[in-house]
Structure 1
Amino acid sequence: MADPQPPVAKLGESGLDKVTAGHGQAKASVEIMEPIPKALQLRLEFTSISGTVPKLFGQPTLLSRLRAGKVAAKEHQQASERQILFGITGSCNPGEVLALMGPSGSGKTSLLSVLGGRKPKAMRLSGVPHYNGAPLTKRAKRQVGFVLQDDLLYESLTGHETLYFAAMLRLPRAMTAAQKTERVLTVVTALGLDKCRDTIIGGFFRRGISGGERKRVSVGHELLINPSILLLDEPTSGLDSTTAMHLVATLRPLASVGRAVVTTIHQPSSRLYTQLDKLLLLSEGHAMYYGQASLAADWCSERFLTAHPDGYNHAGAVHEAGLGNQLWSAAQSRKQLSPGLPIQAAAPEPLSQHHQDWDQDQDRDRIASSPSASSSHDIELAVGEGLAAPPVGLGPDGRKVNRWGASYTQQLKFLFVRAVKTRRFETMSVQDIVQLLIVGLLCGLFWLQRGQSATVRGASDVTGLLFFQLVFLSFRSMFAALFTFRNEFKMMLKERASGMYRLSAFYFARTASDLPMELSLPTFYIVLMYFMSGLRLSAGAFFANWMAVMLVTLVAQSFGLLVGATVMQPKTAQTIVAVSMLAFMLVGGFYVSAIPVWISWLKYLSFVYFGYNLLIKIEFGGRTIYDCGGADVADPQQHPELCHPVPSLQQALHLQESPDAWPWEVLVLLGYLLFWRCMIYVALRRKTSGV
């Protein structure tokens, strides 16, 4: 006889209607998520989890280095280790809600990150959490949902767009696009996000949805994959009591259909506390209590009465009416079992073996009697024997589940569209449009039709225009790209840890999005400046000028992305880019043409040098320029007595390359572009290694 199908979790079954009744809304019984098949249920176990982190000190100053020497400076940088977790043991079964509680700094977030396979690289760990008896693998991470304390969401996307792109990238390939869209609508309705589905997430400088809605979007981001285990870090942080109760009450129906839920909670209300099954109470990295949440008060009282047999105040104040039958009996039994023992103050210590044994003995009875287990035969467990399930990462039929939800081409497609949407406000902003139009208009007015002059004096002015055109866009693009990956790095780590996409797909899609987003506005600037200044009026020269400037702009952007991907300190990154760009300008060939031999090799490291020479060849290649003795004559050919053609424009304008030479600089710039783009990928790969 086949096992009965477990019921679908509904918000109406969790008592959530009573919570929201005060708002005058009758919430319908909405299906929040389908049940977890028994073959995909996971039991989380962790035994003797201990962790240490380096105790970092400030970086030594240059003065301290000179005074103390290299050895002392090196010793100053060496960090001693500090233990933050001490032998934590526990478990969470399907159908349970385990809460990690304790004061700030007790190790809740550190332990949760270890359980979710997201421990910091600097942490040295002993003890490994197991899922169905096996360590967590990258493929198995797709069955684990992890909600961070800080809501890492793209501010420019709406709530629906955020969940849509997550569904298209994370849900299995076997699902059609219509099924994935239907899953998004289900999550939006179940979490009460209908009213804000088309509102942007927003941030500090741009208003969007409320804090509670942001948190529910973060939870929905993980619920899309229907995870077997859901981990939440401080989901009620920053929320009012009603919103917090609304959110935590949702965890009960999520767990009731075969899902294990582990959450950290700080200062829960009494109503919120009743939604919990298990409690792991932490203090300074030590486990103070582990077991049923409803028995935590009794257990802590017994520990106190063991150390203080005379009661809470004094012997005269301790009586059965004041303590209650259970606590009074416990106190009397403690005094009878340990008469005359010295009184010791209770101190944080690892999990008591007595209580651990008690918890294992009571697991089956508690789960069988809980509402989540009594409604489903599939959630019955044999504690101590584990689940009769295949290893994590396998489907119900025992076959391997593909680690990536979307194919590589689909990842490129959706990541490209998302990258364009996330940058729609910043790239096409009014400020950028006004900036480029004003600078282009000023350039056109300052060099008004100077490009039509055929004299050496006019050509000298045009070289200044070409150099400014190149440097202005390079500076703008480089500094704008400097903070690109720094702003997206945490989001990238979060999504990569969830197995959302390949790093190469993210990088190629992000690079491809640069073309329409970074080249559109500079094009208007080039058109305005080019024709107002009267540069070479031919279609070939115009498009060659545009392509050359765009190529140099992409090279400059690549350098900014490379520095931003390798240096995470903003001031350090800005200093590196500013000094490098100034060096590139000085050796570019406009300010100084006769650079000393011993330092002239620096020009071959400057993309400004190659870009400037390329623009000179495009503008003056094949043209005849006249020397009119320093005068600026409108038509030099009409004044042969004053003007004569210059035999070498390179010598006349003090150029480093002949304008009539073959434009080999294009190949060098393309080489720089490819090299720096590859180095960016290598830097990102190193930064995200182990995720």
Structure 2
Amino acid sequence: MLQFEDVRYKVVVKKASKWGCTFGMKAGTDKEILHGITGSVGAGEMLAMMGPSGSGKTTLLNVLGGRRSNPQWLTGSILYNDVPYTKNLKRRIGFVTQDDVLFPHLTVRETLTFSALLRLPDRFTKDQKLQRAEAVLAQLGLQRCGDTIIGNQFLRGVSGGERKRVCIGQEILINPSLLFLDEPTSGLDSTTALRIISLLHKLAHQGRAVMATIHQPSSRAFHMFDKLILLSDGYPTYFGKAKGAMTYFDTIGFTPLIPMNPADFLLDLCSGNTNDVSLPPNLQQRKKSIASQKQKITPASVPGTPMTLLGKDVKKYLADCCEHQISTWDRTKSLQNQKLQQNLKHLQAVVSEKQQWPTTWWDQFIILFMRGFKERRHEYMSLMRVLQMVLSALLAGSLWWHSKTSTFRQLQDQEGLLFFMGVFWGYFPLFTALFTFPLERPILMKERATDMYRLSAYFMARTLSDLPIEIGLTIIFVVIVYLMANLRHGFLSFIYTILAVCLDVTASQGVGFCIGAAIMDVQKASTLASVIVLGFMLAGGYFIQNIPPFIGWVKYLSFQAHTYKILTYIQYEDAVNVRLHGDLANSVLALAVMVVAYRAIAYISLRRMKISV
């Protein structure tokens, strides 16, 4: 049972500087966007929140779902089975966002299976979790597409309705007693939307309380809802039984003059549009007054002008009527709720709540690692990706075919190959890692909002799941180039070369993770990464030796420079006159520090990212 009374929510509206930019923004003012919303929904009921765009539906849903819990901006009484909101309660509430945030390369079955393994507590065995995923698959009618990938706008997969059912399935895996949905029919055709509403109706009548925002349902879908909250500019205009809404508005003077879908009629009223609607006497008189005054100023040919001026009066009238129409039972119950909440405040302040995770850190790491590996293998192990690596290796091997070091020019040519290997395997892994966190941010925010796993487990799994395939491709590349270019003979030299390039790959990945996590914008991160990679390459020790002191520090941060030194040392350690002998130990240590340091910065950046859905 969810009960809420006089819920109010504010935001800070900041004023931009006179230059129109965010730098130096002036102190903002508080703006209340929810104005005293009251309502309730119990087990077995489905409540719809309707209103025009910008009326506060999603904000109210987030507030009631515990996603906007800042006490500085939120006031009112919200109780869940007579208990205030707690962190542990968050894991027992299902919340389906408007956007279908899913991994495109995972199948429907894999998506639900990984969610079950992560969200169901340890008291369930692995087999029980898998059975639960299969049961939800059957309950939602997804067996037919169980082995079909989710897909996205660039990759063909399941349909929009099936994708929405997968999102709902992820939430009902935990068998929540309260299920929130934000625009579950958005972007769907009327037939598919009706199927989604029918599914929610069944889920509610199985003993759950279901609350959904919905913009403009069909007449059949509207009558499936048990209760209705109607909003207009953040003010409540109706709360009660959905089937009683038309009767209520008829009693206060609003009646459709032509046959209309109830949802269309209600949304028109909340928007202030009174075309084809009878008005109460006072508003009818107001309409005539506005029309007569307007005719004196504006040509009569301007259509709809009186209606526009009348809109604010209609909205205010609806809000005032709603305020006075709260039933005696609701008011009495509301007072009891407020008293109960005040009694529990002291208990909440005294008892510190220990965060409980569904599974252990190690289990989370293993599950997330496998999920990340399965999702990314399609990109790394695709025919085009493997072909790219092999053809690049064959091209490099052909250009440096059986290279020699007999003369200084031949030695220069072979050094160019070593530098190319460091640059090549510093570029591709960096830009692949660069997009990881910006592209996965919606999924990370969605899953972290429900405390599905620890951030550290996700970070370790996500940064390590790419390495096996990336290193595998690296080894293939080095083997081809090493043999074709006739580099230094000897098993140890060959192994050291592979290890050096793999260390280069790991360090460059760290730089990509760091930039992506710190900026979280693909375009900006790509621009910055391009400049950084260019600077590291130029300071890599091949193009220029005498770098001016004021910019000489760049070479110490360049993983390409250290890789070049290590590869040069491996190939020419026995030579007498080597232009770049290098310090092997210092370069290896520098790369090892980069592997850890850049990832640490990336993790700190993710930790500071605001989780808000």
Distance in 1 between residues matched to 2:608 and 2:148, nearest whole Å? 36
Q: 1:356 aligns with which of 322, 326, 334?
A: 326
Structure 1 residue aligned with 2:96: 147
SS of 1:199's partner is coil
Structure 2 residue aligned with 1:17: none
Structure 2 residue aligned with 1:621: 573
Q: Which string of whole-angstrom CA distances, capped at 9 and with x for unpartnered residues, describes residues 379-403 of structure 1? A: xxx999989xx99xx9xxxxx9973
Distance in 1 between residues matched to 2:435 and 2:31, nearest whole Å? 32
Distance in 2 between residues matched to 1:120 and 1:200, nearest whole Å? 36
Structure 2 residue aligned with 1:441: 394
Distance in 1 between residues matched to 2:431 and 2:520, nearest whole Å? 14
> Measured at CA, do residues 475 and 122 of structure 1 come closer, stay the same or move farther in structure 2, by a change above 3 Å?
farther
Structure 2 residue aligned with 1:7: none
Deviation at 1:73, TM superposition (A): 7.8
Structure 2 residue aligned with 1:486: 438
Give the number of equivalent residue pairs.
558
Query: Any conservation in 2 of the 1:276–1:293 contact (CA below 8 Å)?
Result: yes
> Measured at CA, do residues 529 and 408 of structure 1 come closer, stay the same or move farther in structure 2, by a change above 3 Å?
same
Q: 1:291 aligns with which of 236, 240, 254?
A: 240
Structure 1 residue aligned with 2:120: 171
Distance in 2 between residues matched to 1:81 and 1:361, nearest whole Å? 28
Structure 1 residue aligned with 2:291: none
Structure 1 residue aligned with 2:307: none
Structure 1 residue aligned with 2:152: 203
Q: 2:7 aligns with which of 48, 51, 74?
A: 48
Amino acid at match of 2:6: T
Q: 2:253 aligns with which of 288, 301, 304?
A: 304
SS of 1:245's partner is helix
1:595 aligns with 2:524: no
Query: Any conservation in 2 of the 1:94–1:258 contact (CA below 8 Å)?
Result: yes
Q: 1:687 aligns with which of 586, 589, 609?
A: 609
Amino acid at match of 2:138: T
Amino acid at match of 2:379: E
Name the larger-Rg structure: 1
Deviation at 1:494, TM superposition (A): 0.5
Distance in 2 between residues matched to 1:291 and 1:146, nearest whole Å? 23
Q: Which string of whole-angstrom CA distances, capped at 9 and with x for unpartnered residues, describes residues 439-489 of structure 1? A: 111111111111x43433222111111111110121111111111111101
1:550 aligns with 2:502: yes
Q: Which string of whole-angstrom CA distances, capped at 9 and with x for unpartnered residues, describes residues 272-314 of structure 1? A: 1221111000122221111111111111222236xx9xx979x
SS of 2:10's partner is strand
Superposition map of 1:532-551 within 5 A: 532-551=484-503
Q: Percent identity?
A: 41
Superposition map of 1:358-373 within 5 A: 358=328, 360=330
Deviation at 1:436, TM superposition (A): 1.4
Query: Any conservation in 2 of the 1:154–1:201 contact (CA below 8 Å)?
Result: yes
Distance in 1 between residues matched to 2:247 and 2:333, nearest whole Å? 18
Which of 1 and 2 has higher RCO (CA within 8 Å, sep 6+)? 1
State the TM-score, normalizing by the size of structure 1. Answer: 0.74
Amino acid at match of 1:674: V
State the TM-score, normalizing by the size of structure 2. Answer: 0.83
Q: 1:463 aligns with which of 415, 433, 457?
A: 415
Q: Which string of whole-angstrom CA distances, capped at 9 and with x for unpartnered residues, describes residues 564-605 of structure 1? A: 111123332122111111111111111110122333222212
Structure 1 residue aligned with 2:262: none
Higher helix share: 2
Query: Any conservation in 2 of the 1:229–1:260 contact (CA below 8 Å)?
Result: yes
Q: 1:273 aligns with which of 222, 228, 232?
A: 222
1:129 aligns with 2:78: yes
Structure 2 residue aligned with 1:567: 519
1:677 aligns with 2:599: yes
Deviation at 1:542, TM superposition (A): 1.0
1:261 aligns with 2:210: yes
Structure 2: stretches of 5+ with no match in the other structure: 259-279, 288-309
> Measured at CA, do residues 175 and 211 of structure 1 come closer, stay the same or move farther in structure 2, by a change above 3 Å?
same
Query: Any conservation in 1 of the 2:9–2:34 contact (CA below 8 Å)?
Result: yes
Distance in 1 between residues matched to 2:65 and 2:245, nearest whole Å? 25
Superposition map of 1:337-348 within 5 A: 345-348=313-316
Distance in 1 between residues matched to 2:171 and 2:143, nearest whole Å? 18
Distance in 1 between residues matched to 2:141 and 2:66, nearest whole Å? 30
Query: Any conservation in 2 of the 1:142–1:403 contact (CA below 8 Å)?
Result: no
1:404 aligns with 2:357: yes
SS of 2:252's partner is helix
Stretch moving more, 272-281 or 452-461:
452-461
SS of 2:466's partner is helix
Deviation at 1:663, TM superposition (A): 3.0
Distance in 2 between residues matched to 1:123 and 1:441, nearest whole Å? 63
> Measured at CA, do residues 197 and 283 of structure 1 come closer, stay the same or move farther in structure 2, by a change above 3 Å?
same
SS of 2:4's partner is strand
SS of 2:7's partner is strand
SS of 2:327's partner is helix
Deviation at 1:215, TM superposition (A): 0.7
Q: 2:188 aligns with which of 224, 239, 243?
A: 239
1:648 aligns with 2:600: no
Structure 1: stretches of 5+ with no match in the other structure: 1-41, 66-71, 314-333, 365-381, 395-399, 625-646
Stretch moving more, 132-141 or 509-518:
132-141
Amino acid at match of 1:449: H
1:453 aligns with 2:375: no
Distance in 1 between residues matched to 2:612 and 2:185, nearest whole Å? 29
> Measured at CA, do residues 383 and 252 of structure 1 come closer, stay the same or move farther in structure 2, by a change above 3 Å?
farther
1:522 aligns with 2:461: no
SS of 1:304's partner is coil
Amino acid at match of 1:414: I
Q: Which string of whole-angstrom CA distances, capped at 9 and with x for unpartnered residues, describes residues 361-389 of structure 1? A: 8999xxxxxxxxxxxxxxxxx999989xx
Distance in 1 between residues matched to 2:223 and 2:339, nearest whole Å? 29
Distance in 1 between residues matched to 2:28 and 2:354, nearest whole Å? 42
SS of 2:457's partner is helix
